[in-house]
Structure 1
Amino acid sequence: MKAEEGQMDSSSSSESEAVSGPVRRVIIVSAGASHSVVLLSGNVICSWGRGEDGQLGLGDAEDRYSPTQLSALDGLEIVSVTCGADHTTAYSQSQMQAYSWGWGDFGRLGHGNSSDLFSPQPIKALGGLRIKQIACGDSHCLAVTMEGEVRSWGRNQNGQLGLGTTEDSLVPQKIGAFQDISVKMVAAGAEHTAAVTEDGELYGWGWGRYGNLGLGDRNDRSVPVKVSAVQGEKMVVVACGWRHTISVSSSGSLYTYGWSKYGQLGHGDFEDHLIPHKLQALCENSISQISGGWRHTMARTSDGKLYGWGWNKFGQVGVGDNIDHCSPVQVKFPLDQKIVDISCGWRHTLAVTERQNLFSWGRGTNGQLGHGDSIDRNVPKIIEALSMDGSSGQHIEASKVDISPDKTWVSPTERYAVVPNENSATLLGADGNDLYVPVSDVKRMRI
């Protein structure tokens, strides 16, 4: 099938109608490279932002500038949604089934091929498993079962799947290195992965050039290796940015390591750290949630405050300017609302408050902020349609796109992926910026 045949024409794909109903509570938020997805109470899923690779799951390749209901998963009792860079996953506990859709290159969707998917499809290799968490990086994914086993799939050029090889995997495979170890959670970055075990041990594997594995060197690892640098601290949470890693100990202390060219480690400088380094600026706070963006970081304290730092070109740190911050800065919300959930995309950020309001800020060029426009914002702005305090109440767009099977799959031979190569990572332009950072947000070219 040719690329143009897998897309709806603009007159039909833009057809949608606004639907109002009971005010629904935001259960989970997740941000990808340039798209956003939320799970609402009542088993309602909404997506918006870039749709070029099918990552919105709405049956076409169109961008959406406002939250649009993803009806393909209605009635499946979805309990979690997770965005990769340009793909998305969901899990139904009652069905014991994971689903994925979006950009399929390198097998990141787990369906045994590299085709793009414009509507959710079940990952057959995960059927029947009781999954407690799914993590998505740029091009690879992992699933942790209730029993503490880990499956991984997708791109593996640096060993980020933890399988002992550098071959991509088109279907989920069990990580044998955790055979006798119960894993609590995993996190995926661009080309590296981190994990925390039920015993509080921290592991890293994959691409390690900036010390983002926490192992004291810059080497890659193709199997999970224990991070031994943090003595006497049990880790309970871990998150990955593009090429940096964040973890939280049982005492609420925050540690960061890896790449810090843009201050994303938060230690007051722009120096890389090869082992976990405690963030002294927040040592008086107990950290309860963390999230890593492309080059920025967010941390939520146990008393509901939100702090951000790192790359801020598009205002994604949310503190009212567009200057990079190498130390944590508090993000302010109307009425000093406390934060209950956060998620960093590549260049944008989402946050849910205790008043059940959803805010977004940062890059808006593809509508990923959900405000009906493509404007960047450097302070949090409420998404009216998904917030209790929204002036117009909940008003969600309902997609009317035909998602019949013959319009679901698009062969990778009909599309061309532009992927930065490894050698470009250290090239600098005259302005000191990385040459591989796109001037625009275009990363996919069609033939």
Structure 2
Amino acid sequence: MFKGHIRVILAALAVIVYGEDVEDVIEHVDIDDTTVSAGIEHSCAIHSVSAADFGGKVICWGSNSMGQAEAPDAEFIQVSSGRFHSCGVKLDETIECWGDPNHAMTPEGLFVQVSCGDFHTCGVLKDSSLSCWGANYDNQLEFPTGKFVQVSCGKGHSCALSIDGSVHCWGADRYGQSTAPKDVKFLQVSAAPGDFSCGITVNNEIRCWGDNHRKQREPPNGTFSLVSTSRLSACGINKEKFVHCWGMKEGVTAVPNHVKFDELTLGWDHGCGIASDTGKVVCWGSDSDGRLDIPIKLR
């Protein structure tokens, strides 16, 4: 499946569907491999010593103005990068956050997934409920009740995937970024660090909602396995494992077109992914603050 010692299951792709009926419950995938996450100006990944390892140490690079790239010396199974903070799910299923102390609080409880936004964070607890913490200027902490399998935090809003495939969003909604379609079942969702959101439907098509002034809500036709959103653009991995982007053409969309990817994560103006043939981290876009300086263990 890969070469080297890096395997990644992106937090945004933490769902599978059992059976062919769209009414079947969507279950959370066990995150037992390395995760990579591009934040606003930094990125983090979990380095496993071998493919058989469960989790590993977090390695971060890029901007470290608030300590967001100074990962604690612990074993993690999943990590997420925000603007000035990062959080990860540890081997004992607790969450630890680092960086800006105003937004890097560590919540109580056992979790299966975490997602960092600009100044807030949300996670899915083991009982499938949600928990959010940090800033609340756009009601980012007013999360819905119910059972969920994945959550994605954006700039001032978040979206979560329910066990029945429906998407629920909350927080900022001035451009409709929190008004998810009600007539669609999804496999995955991505809330942008901008004013829109996208998801992969059960038919493996991409559906987006919210701001569209850069055509970031107009994905290409075709079947996709994963979508990741940036501030004014988005990219998806198609069935051939190549990445296609739409919206504003900028550094974050300058994905190497000759590389097949297993995973994809977009930040503000840089992105990273896992190359299918090597299993290594590949990054592109702006190199400001060392965002493309991938540590040697990961490349």
When normalised by structure 1's length, the TM-score is 0.56
| Counterpart AA for 2:45 | V
For residues 298 and 208 of structure 1, the distance between their equivalents in structure 2, rounded to whole angstroms, comes to 22
| Counterpart AA for 2:168 | Y
Query: Displacement, 1:312?
Result: 3.1
Q: 2:267: which partner in 1?
A: 345
Query: Displacement, 1:99?
Result: 0.7
For residues 369 and 146 of structure 1, the distance between their equivalents in structure 2, rounded to whole angstroms, comes to 34
2:185 to 234, 237, 240: 234
| Counterpart AA for 1:81 | V
| Counterpart AA for 1:351 | G
The correspondence of residues 26-425 of structure 1 with structure 2, limited to 5 A, is 26=7, 27-42=34-49, 43-57=56-70, 70=71, 72-73=72-73, 76-93=74-91, 95-105=92-102, 108-110=103-105, 123=106, 125-126=107-108, 129-162=109-142, 175=143, 177-178=144-145, 181-214=146-179, 227=180, 229-231=181-183, 233-241=184-192, 242-265=194-217, 267=218, 279=219, 281-282=220-221, 284-285=222-223, 287-313=224-250, 315-318=251-254, 331-333=256-258, 337-354=259-276, 355-370=278-293, 385-387=297-299
For residues 104 and 252 of structure 1, the distance between their equivalents in structure 2, rounded to whole angstroms, comes to 39
Query: Displacement, 1:237?
Result: 0.7
For residues 196 and 247 of structure 1, the distance between their equivalents in structure 2, rounded to whole angstroms, comes to 9
| Counterpart AA for 2:292 | L
| Counterpart AA for 1:349 | G
In our comparison, the structure showing a higher alpha carbon Rg is 1
For residues 305 and 89 of structure 1, the distance between their equivalents in structure 2, rounded to whole angstroms, comes to 29
Q: 1:18: which partner in 2?
A: none
Deviations 1:284-333 (A, max 9, x none): 32x211111122211112331211122334x22116xxxxxxxxxxx512
For residues 37 and 77 of structure 1, the distance between their equivalents in structure 2, rounded to whole angstroms, comes to 14
For residues 312 and 38 of structure 1, the distance between their equivalents in structure 2, rounded to whole angstroms, comes to 26
Query: Displacement, 1:386?
Result: 2.2
| Counterpart AA for 2:178 | L
For residues 384 and 301 of structure 1, the distance between their equivalents in structure 2, rounded to whole angstroms, comes to 28
Q: 1:19: which partner in 2?
A: none
Deviations 1:225-283 (A, max 9, x none): xx4x442x311211011211001111111101111222322x2xxxxxxxxxxx4x22x
Contact 2:47 2:297 in 1 (8 A): no
The structure with more helix, counted as a fraction of residues: 1
Give secondary structure in 1 for the equivalent of 2:35: strand
Give secondary structure in 2 for the equivalent of 1:316: helix
Q: For structure 2, which runs of at least 5 residues remain unmatched after alignment?
A: 8-33, 50-55
Contact 1:28 1:341 in 2 (8 A): no
Give secondary structure in 2 for the equivalent of 1:366: helix
- Runs of 4+ more than 6 Å apart: none
Q: 1:218: which partner in 2?
A: none
- Give the stretch that moved more between structures: 289-298 or 190-199: 289-298
For residues 316 and 96 of structure 1, the distance between their equivalents in structure 2, rounded to whole angstroms, comes to 32
For residues 82 and 44 of structure 2, the distance between their equivalents in structure 1, rounded to whole angstroms, comes to 11
Matched, 1:25 2:6: yes
CA RMSD of aligned residues (A): 2.0
Deviations 1:130-160 (A, max 9, x none): 3111011101000101211101111111111
Query: Displacement, 1:384?
Result: 5.9
Give secondary structure in 2 for the equivalent of 1:332: coil
For residues 158 and 296 of structure 2, the distance between their equivalents in structure 1, rounded to whole angstroms, comes to 35
% identical aligned pairs: 22
The number of residues matched between the two structures is 263
For residues 114 and 164 of structure 2, the distance between their equivalents in structure 1, rounded to whole angstroms, comes to 20
| Counterpart AA for 1:39 | I
For residues 251 and 367 of structure 1, the distance between their equivalents in structure 2, rounded to whole angstroms, comes to 38
Give secondary structure in 1 for the equivalent of 2:290: coil
For residues 259 and 103 of structure 1, the distance between their equivalents in structure 2, rounded to whole angstroms, comes to 29
Contact 1:85 1:346 in 2 (8 A): no
| Counterpart AA for 1:31 | A
